[in-house]
Chains A and B, each alone.
Chain A
Amino acid sequence: MITRREFLKISALTLAVAITPEGYKIFRAEEVPSQINPNLWIELSKDNYLTVLINKSEMGQGVYTGLSMIVADELDFPWERVRAKASPAGKLYIDPKMKEQLTGGSTSVRNMYFVLRKAGASMREMLLFAASKKLGIPKKDLLAKGGFIIEKKTGKKHPYAEFLEEAKNIPLPKEPPLKKPEEFIYIGRSLPRLDTEEKINGKALFGIDAKIKGMLYAVVERPPYFGGKPLKVDKSDALKVPGVYDVFPISTGVAICGDSFWACEKARDKIKIKWSESPLMNWNDEDFEKFFLHKLKEKGVVVKKTGDPERVFKNSEIVLENTYLLPYLYHATLEPMSTLVWVKKEECHIYVPTQWQTSVIRSAEKITGLPEEKIKVYTTYLGGGFGRKANVEFVEEALEISKKTGKPVKLIYTREDDIKSGYFRPMNAAFIKASADKKGNLTALSFKIAVQPLLGGRASVEGLEDMLYHIPNLYVERVDVDLPVTYWFWRAVGSTHNAFILETFLDKMAKLMKIDPVDLRLNLLKREPIARRVVERAAEISSWGKTPRKGAVMGFAYHYSFGTHVAEVAEVILDEKTGKIKVPKVYCVIDHGPVTVHPDLIKSQMEGAICMGLSMALKEAVRFEKGGVKNTNFHTYEILKFEEAPEVEVEILNSQRPMGGVGEPGLPPIAPAVANALFWGYGLNITRLPLTPEYVKTLLTRKG
Chain B
Amino acid sequence: MFEIKVNGKWYKVSAFEDEPLLWVLRERLGFTSVKFGCGIGVCGACTVLLNHKAVRACTLSIKEANKKEILTIEGIPSHHPLKRAWIKYQVSQCGYCQPGQILEIYALLLENPSPSEKELTEKLNGHLCRCGTYVRIKKAVKEVVKELKAGGKK
Residues of A within 8 A of B (CB): 59-62, 190, 192-193, 195-206, 208-209, 211, 217, 260-263, 266, 331-336, 381-386, 412, 414-416, 600, 604, 607-612, 633-635, 639-643, 645-648
Which residue of chain A lies nearest to B41 when distances are taken between CB atoms in the complex?
A635
Which residue of chain A lies nearest to B127 when distances are taken between CB atoms in the complex?
A642
With A608-B132, A633-B38, A642-B125 as contacts: A199 and B95 at CB distance below 8 Å: yes
With A260-B27, A383-B35, A639-B130 as contacts: A607 and B135 at CB distance below 8 Å: yes
Cβ contact within 8 Å between B93 and A62: yes
Cβ contact within 8 Å between B74 and A381: no
Q: Given A62, A217, A334, A607, which contacts B97 in the complex, CB threshold below 8 Å?
A: A334
| 1/0 contact string of B125-143 vs chain A (CB within 8 Å) | 1011111111111100000
Q: Does B72 lie at the interface of the complex (its beta carbon under 8 Å from any beta carbon of A)?
A: yes
Query: In the docked arrangement, what's the CA distance between A78 and B92, Å?
Result: 23
Cβ contact within 8 Å between A195 and B92: yes
A-B pairs, top 7 by smallest CB distance, nearest first, are: A202-B33, A611-B132, A199-B95, A60-B93, A60-B94, A383-B96, A645-B134
Min Cβ gap A210→B in Å is 9
With A200-B83, A647-B135 as contacts: A642 and B124 at CB distance below 8 Å: yes
| 1/0 contact string of B9-45 vs chain A (CB within 8 Å) | 0000001100110010011101111011111101101
What are 9 A-to-B residue pairs whose CB atoms are below 8 Å? A60-B92, A208-B36, A260-B28, A261-B27, A384-B96, A385-B94, A611-B135, A642-B129, A647-B135
Cβ contact within 8 Å between B99 and A202: yes
Query: In the docked arrangement, what's the CA distance between A197 and B84, Å?
Result: 10
Query: In the docked arrangement, what's the CA distance between A384 and B98, Å?
Result: 12
Contacts of A208 in B (CB 8 A): 32, 35-36
Which residue of chain B lies nearest to A666 when distances are taken between CB atoms in the complex?
B132
Q: Does B70 lie at the interface of the complex (its beta carbon under 8 Å from any beta carbon of A)?
A: no
Query: In the docked arrangement, what's the CA distance between A336 and B23, Å?
Result: 15
Query: In the docked arrangement, what's the CA distance between A171 and B95, Å?
Result: 42
Q: Does B102 lie at the interface of the complex (its beta carbon under 8 Å from any beta carbon of A)?
A: yes
Query: In the docked arrangement, what's the CA distance between A383 and B86, Å?
Result: 18
With A383-B96, A414-B39, A600-B90 as contacts: A643 and B130 at CB distance below 8 Å: no
Contacts of B39 in A (CB 8 A): 414-416, 633
Q: Does B121 lie at the interface of the complex (its beta carbon under 8 Å from any beta carbon of A)?
A: yes
Q: Given A332, A415, A604, A610, which contacts B90 in the complex, CB threshold below 8 Å?
A: A604
Min Cβ gap B153→A in Å is 28
Contacts of B78 in A (CB 8 A): 197, 201
Query: In the docked arrangement, what's the CA distance between A382 and B39, Å?
Result: 19
Q: With contacts A260-B19, A611-B132, A642-B138 known, what are 6 further pairs, Cβ within 8 A?
A: A200-B98, A201-B73, A260-B27, A334-B35, A385-B94, A607-B133
Cβ contact within 8 Å between B95 and A60: yes
Contacts of A217 in B (CB 8 A): 27
Cβ contact within 8 Å between A384 and B125: no
Cβ contact within 8 Å between B87 and A608: no
Q: Given A195, A262, A333, which contacts B95 in the complex, CB threshold below 8 Å?
A: A195
Contacts of A633 in B (CB 8 A): 38-40, 42
Q: Given A193, A209, A610, which contacts B132 in the complex, CB threshold below 8 Å?
A: A610
Interface hits, B109-127 → A, CB 8 Å: 121, 124-125, 127
Cβ contact within 8 Å between A612 and B40: no
Min Cβ gap B59→A in Å is 12
Cβ contact within 8 Å between B121 and A643: yes
Which residue of chain A lies nearest to B124 when distances are taken between CB atoms in the complex?
A642
Cβ contact within 8 Å between A612 and B127: no
Cβ contact within 8 Å between B127 and A382: no
Min Cβ gap B127→A in Å is 7
Min Cβ gap B38→A in Å is 5
Min Cβ gap A96→B in Å is 26
Cβ contact within 8 Å between A200 and B36: no
Cβ contact within 8 Å between B45 and A334: yes
Q: Given B20, B37, B93, B136, which contacts A415 in the complex, CB threshold below 8 Å?
A: B37
Q: Given A193, A202, A608, which contacts B73 in the complex, CB threshold below 8 Å?
A: A202
Interface band, chain B: 35 or more
Query: In the docked arrangement, what's the CA distance between A201 and B30, Å?
Result: 14
Contacts of A209 in B (CB 8 A): 26, 32
Contacts of A610 in B (CB 8 A): 132
Cβ contact within 8 Å between B92 and A205: no
Contacts of B96 in A (CB 8 A): 206, 333-335, 383-384
Chain B contact surface mostly: loop
Cβ contact within 8 Å between B133 and A192: no
Contacts of B135 in A (CB 8 A): 607, 611, 645-648
Contacts of B36 in A (CB 8 A): 208, 336, 412
Which residue of chain A lies nearest to B19 when distances are taken between CB atoms in the complex?
A262
Which residue of chain B lies nearest to A641 when distances are taken between CB atoms in the complex?
B125
Which residue of chain B lies nearest to A193 when distances are taken between CB atoms in the complex?
B90
With A608-B93, A608-B133 as contacts: A334 and B37 at CB distance below 8 Å: yes
Which residue of chain B lies nearest to A600 when distances are taken between CB atoms in the complex?
B90
Min Cβ gap A379→B in Å is 14
Which residue of chain A lies nearest to B96 when distances are taken between CB atoms in the complex?
A383
Min Cβ gap B100→A in Å is 9
Contacts of B86 in A (CB 8 A): 196, 200
| 1/0 contact string of B57-99 vs chain A (CB within 8 Å) | 0000000000000001110001000010011001111111111
Cβ contact within 8 Å between A384 and B131: yes
Query: In the docked arrangement, what's the CA distance between A203 and B99, Å?
Result: 10
Cβ contact within 8 Å between A334 and B43: yes
Min Cβ gap A591→B in Å is 21
Min Cβ gap A382→B in Å is 6
Min Cβ gap A639→B in Å is 6
Cβ contact within 8 Å between A263 and B94: no
Cβ contact within 8 Å between B35 and A612: no
Q: Given B16, B27, B83, which contacts A266 in the complex, CB threshold below 8 Å?
A: B16
Cβ contact within 8 Å between B32 and A196: no
Cβ contact within 8 Å between B94 and A197: no
Min Cβ gap A194→B in Å is 11
Most buried by B among A202, A204, A641: A202
Query: In the docked arrangement, what's the CA distance between A642 and B136, Å?
Result: 10
Cβ contact within 8 Å between B74 and A202: yes
Contacts of A331 in B (CB 8 A): 130
Contacts of B27 in A (CB 8 A): 217, 260-261
Cβ contact within 8 Å between A202 and B72: yes
Which residue of chain A lies nearest to B33 when distances are taken between CB atoms in the complex?
A202
Q: Given A193, A205, A645, which contacts B32 in the complex, CB threshold below 8 Å?
A: A205
Contacts of B97 in A (CB 8 A): 334
Query: In the docked arrangement, what's the CA distance between A193 and B32, Å?
Result: 22
Most buried by A among B36, B94, B128, B133: B94
With A607-B132, A611-B135, A635-B40 as contacts: A383 and B95 at CB distance below 8 Å: yes
Query: In the docked arrangement, what's the CA distance between A62 and B16, Å?
Result: 40
Contacts of A263 in B (CB 8 A): 16
Cβ contact within 8 Å between B130 and A642: no
Query: In the docked arrangement, what's the CA distance between A415 and B35, Å?
Result: 12
Query: In the docked arrangement, what's the CA distance between A515 and B132, Å?
Result: 35
Min Cβ gap A489→B in Å is 15
Min Cβ gap A664→B in Å is 13
Cβ contact within 8 Å between A634 and B32: no
Most buried by B among A198, A199, A217: A199
Which residue of chain B lies nearest to A58 when distances are taken between CB atoms in the complex?
B94
Cβ contact within 8 Å between B23 and A200: no
Q: Given A192, A266, A381, A412, which contacts B87 in the complex, CB threshold below 8 Å?
A: A192
